[in-house]
Structure 1
Amino acid sequence: MLFGKTLVALATVFGLSAAAAHNNGRGTIYFQAGVTGSCGKTEPDSAVIAAISNTFMKGQANSQYCGRKIKVTNVGSNSGAKGKGKTLIVPVEDTCPICGENDIYFSLGAWNKLTDNSAPATIIIDWDFV
């Protein structure tokens, strides 16, 4: 009986822990313009990549987050971008130095997939590391 209660308690703790990892923020487009990102790669604007905030990257070249994948959902936009409900898995390849903690910059390639090729704007996003 005690084992069962302990197992339920552990499942609850781990379930809450996983839920706490969920992030809400804003997303927008950025252009690499041939510049090498903080993860050491030079990518074309057509690449499907993301830049996350310095809160995660901590100003480090080759941060532990470089190459990690994030699953992003476009929750909608108040500035005209389309693609509400679209989801994309995208690797982190750069730092967004001016982003809020849970905001993400998307390359043109990623932006087009998330927004049905919308003009530059801002979208509301939900995201998690996968």
Structure 2
Amino acid sequence: MLFGKALVALATVFGLPAAVAHNGGRGTVYFQNNVAGSCGNVNPDSALIVALGNYWMKNQDKSPYCGRKIKVKNVGSNSGSHGKGNNLTVTVADTCESCGEDDIDFSVGAWNKLTNKSPGGTIIIDWEFE
């Protein structure tokens, strides 16, 4: 319990929201297109990377969340299972301008692993920072 309080205190000092589970977010897919993400790196579409919304990235070119690992669980979708129950660890590499606080935009590689290669759409996700 003390460790948890210390972690929240450190997150507050450094201006980072505390690492807690985020449930019921939306997961979508995006293409990197050989363009550097907001974290400054060019990644192939096959990389296991994600884009977080401005709530996290704060419109910064080098957000403190760049490079952070996230554990994600596919909770399902409204149009079938599409990998329901799949888990994946991904790395933050970009900003998703249209994402809400609990939403994540997945690279094609991450999306394919999380959804068993679903052709696109939206899934429901639970996630947390490692």
Q: Given the two structures, how large is their TM-score scaled by the length of structure 2?
A: 0.84
Correspondence 1:96 to 2:96: yes
Root-mean-square deviation over aligned CA pairs:
1.8
Segments of 4+ in structure 1 off by > 6 A?
none
Q: Deviations over 1:20-71 (max 9, x none)?
A: 8110200010001111100001111111100011100000011100000000
Structure 2 gap segments, 5+ residues each: 9-17
Q: Which residue of 2 aligns with 1:27?
A: 27
Structure 1 gap segments, 5+ residues each: 1-9
Higher share in helix: 1
1:124 aligned counterpart, secondary structure? strand
Identity across the alignment (%): 62
C-alpha distance in structure 2 between counterparts of 1:127 and 1:85, whole Å: 12
- 5 Å matches for 1:1-130? 10=1, 14=5, 21-24=20-23, 25-80=25-80, 82-130=82-130
Q: Which has the greater radius of gyration?
A: 1
2:56 aligned counterpart, secondary structure? helix
Q: Deviations over 1:57-106 (max 9, x none)?
A: 00001110000000000000003451000000000000001101110000
1:92 aligned counterpart, secondary structure? strand
Specify whether residues 81 and 34 from structure 1 end up closer, same or farther in structure 2 by C-alpha distance, changes over 3 A only: farther
Q: Given the two structures, how large is their TM-score scaled by the length of structure 1?
A: 0.84
